[in-house]
Amino acid sequence: MNRLFNGPFYDQLLSQPPLREAKYFKHGSSTILFTKDDRLFRLTRQGCGHNFIGQQSVLNNPHVPRVIEDFGPVSPSDEGDGEFYWLAEVEWLQDLDSAQLQSMATIISDLTDDEPQLYGEDLEDFASRCLDLADKRVDLRGFLNTLIAASAFAREHQAMVDIKLDNIMFRAMSNEFVVADPICDHFFEISDAQRAQLSMRISP
């Protein structure tokens, strides 16, 4: 079992549905994927990224992973006050093939100036570059508009975008690029209702 996360809250999550008896699949810097009965679960500490993907999935944006079930904040994080573990069941996607990696690497490098994590005023420049490219690359317009939306969401929540190849996937059946983990800040304010639900979930 991968130990990207450690602590009593994390251990408790693994002992409860839907992660009980789920198998580790792979992980990134702040996200672990688990599988169970052909389902894919995404557990993360990145509250902003989780909520951006959830928002865009509700809007039927095909350039984010489709969220099948959003469990929301499921536990306090073991690593920071006011931070949480967020859980969702998401669709299966494919990694980029070698040709896609080469093509997308050039695009991402040009958009980010080889600085994948962008914050503050740099987000405006990034969004402007995406908009300019969207005028030229109609085939990527939806994907680029999603990056623009991620930039706006990050500015609104004083977060950083994290635009790198590892965070881009592919949906083969619809021939679409998908940005899987575009915002990397952990903090995201939860509602009173979510806080009440958490208090019921956590054992004394």
Are the C-beta atoms of 18 and 36 separated by less than 8 Å?
yes
**Measured distance CA(190)–CA(72) in Å, rounded:** 9
**Measured distance CA(23)–CA(76) in Å, rounded:** 22
Q: Which of 183, 48, 176 is nearest to 119 (CA)?
A: 183
Burial of 38 per CB tally in 10 Å (0-12, 13-18, 19+): exposed
**Measured distance CA(49)–CA(162) in Å, rounded:** 10
Q: Give ranges for CATH 3.30.200 in the chain.
A: 8-92+186-201
pTM summary value: 0.92
Fold for domain 8-92+186-201? Phosphorylase Kinase; domain 1 (3.30.200)
Predicted local distance difference test score (pLDDT) of residue 112: 96
Please report the sign of the dihedral spanned by the C-alpha atoms of residue 59, residue 44, residue 142, residue 127: positive
Q: What are the tokens at 92?
A: 């299966």
pLDDT, averaged in runs of 10, over the chain (204 residues): 82 95 90 96 94 97 98 90 92 96 96 94 96 97 98 94 94 95 84 79 59
